[in-house]
Amino acid sequence: MEKTVNRIHPVSDPEATYFLQVSWEKDLGTGFGIILSDGQCAWTGT
């Protein structure tokens, strides 16, 4: 499984920091998972 994690700062709240992780098998065309976290809570999606 491949994955990447990026730190993001929303334009609406530039002082906030979130972490976005995207994971996938072989290529994005076979599906992927997403996790968004603010360091205290996490939200997932597929």
Q: What is the pLDDT of residues 1-46, one digit of tens each?
A: 889 999 999 999 999 999 999 998 877 677 889 999 999 999 998 6
What pLDDT, on the 0 to 100 scale, is given for residue 35?
A: 96
**pLDDT at residue 15, as a whole number:** 94
Q: What is the pLDDT of residue 44?
A: 94
Rounded to whole angstroms, the Cα distance separating 43 from 25 reads 20
Ordered structural domains, the chain, with CATH: 2-45 (2.170.210.10)
The pLDDT assigned to 46 comes to: 64
**For residue 46, what are the β-bridge partners?**
none
Instruction: Say which DSSP state 29 is in.
Output: G
